[in-house]
Structure 1
């Protein structure tokens, strides 16, 4: 069997680095988790929009009927609940800029190309997976606030509905 001589352009100074498929898997799972988090945020924003619609519908339908007879205790309570729901919706839809769902390309170049041009994909996957974990923890604090605001607003919507019904029946 004849051996072929290597071409003049090949670089023999670095041995071929064996890539660890486990690191690639961990990195892929970290990215998948971050994408899931981004979908959760989008879902919460959609739910906040639905909450706005539901609140407006309940308030206009029942509130209009209840306020025909003037303002009573239940009317004031329903209006206060409407205000609180509005405040919670503002909290949910406020544009948070502290989310981290992607990497800064300039930072990636500095960290993985400029500082260590001989670094392997394994090193890069490991570092980025750990960075994603930190970003997910930071994002989760904001997501928890949004989730709690949504849950509280939904509960207040039920109370508002009840207050409007009690105002209509003049209990």
Structure 2
């Protein structure tokens, strides 16, 4: 029995490098973090919709009661710009990569002529996760910039409504 455990232990050492397992788990944790960032951005975009609707209904109604002036048109144009950025942020065309295709994994690591060892799988998948994270990060940065621009436009929108109300 001790001989069997020793043989099993040597196979595990060759096959399962705990460092690679740790690196893989950290890569997955990083990918999970990215997915949480995307979900957070969607929540912020939803909050932006509410804030925009609230500010425009409250201030726009008051400003437009006096007719359409220059600042009213500016505010309406800013409202459409904010709406366009929100659509950009929430439209589901972004190609994030947060998961692996099980069929592809089976074909690549299990069903082939030489099934891969766990260490080789951990290494290959950790590197693939890194590539996926880089691609995801490009999308996340564009969405973050769109959110920042939309928030700035919301402030300008509120200012335009206030100037319209003041009759400037």
Shift of 1:4: 8.7
Query: In structure 1, how many angstroms separate the alpha carbons of the residues matched to 2:102 and 2:84?
Result: 37
Query: In structure 1, how many angstroms separate the alpha carbons of the residues matched to 2:53 and 2:67?
Result: 20
Tell me if the contact between 2:21 and 2:119 (Cα under 8 Å) persists in the aligned partners: yes
TM-score, normalised via structure 1 length: 0.90
* SS, match of residue 69 in structure 1: coil
Query: In structure 1, how many angstroms separate the alpha carbons of the residues matched to 2:2 and 2:18?
Result: 31
Query: In structure 1, how many angstroms separate the alpha carbons of the residues matched to 2:27 and 2:104?
Result: 19
The equivalences for 1:97-136 within 5 A come to 97-136=94-133
Shift of 1:5: 9.5
Give 1 or 2: higher helix fraction: 2
Tell me if the contact between 1:17 and 1:120 (Cα under 8 Å) persists in the aligned partners: no
Give the corresponding residue for 1:144: 141
TM-score, normalised via structure 2 length: 0.91
Ranges in structure 1 where 5+ consecutive residues have no aligned partner: 7-11
Tell me if the contact between 2:94 and 2:139 (Cα under 8 Å) persists in the aligned partners: no
Of structures 1 and 2, the larger Rg is shown by 1
Could you say what the CA RMSD is over the residues aligned between the two structures, in angstroms?
Answer: 1.8
Q: Structure 1 residue aligned with 2:78, among 76, 81, 105?
A: 81
Query: In structure 2, how many angstroms separate the alpha carbons of the residues matched to 1:169 and 1:99?
Result: 46
The equivalences for 1:55-94 within 5 A come to 55-94=52-91
Moved >4 Å (runs of 4+): 3-6
Shift of 1:116: 5.0
Shift of 1:107: 0.4
